[in-house]
Amino acid sequence: MFTVPTTVVDSLTATITDAFADPGLLLVIVLAAGL
């Protein structure tokens, strides 16, 4: 079973939180996810 390190989850959560705080960054992430 694949387990994700807690540090990876924490950094990802922090990135998502920053993205919602910064609409420009959120747009970049959405575009990147769409490619």
Averaged pLDDT score across all residues of the chain = 79
Mean pLDDT to the nearest integer, 4-20: 81
Q: Find all residues with CB under 8 Å of 15, minimum gap 6, and list them.
A: 29
Contact 18, 25 (CB under 8 A): yes
Alpha carbons 34 and 21: distance in angstroms, whole number = 20
Furthest-apart CA atoms within the chain: distance in Å:
36
Percent of the chain whose predicted confidence (pLDDT) is above 90: 0
Task: Report the number of distinct structural domains present in the chain.
Answer: 1
The pLDDT value given to residue 32: 83
Alpha carbons 25 and 34: distance in angstroms, whole number = 14
**Domain, as residue range, for 8:** 1-35
Read off the pTM. 0.43
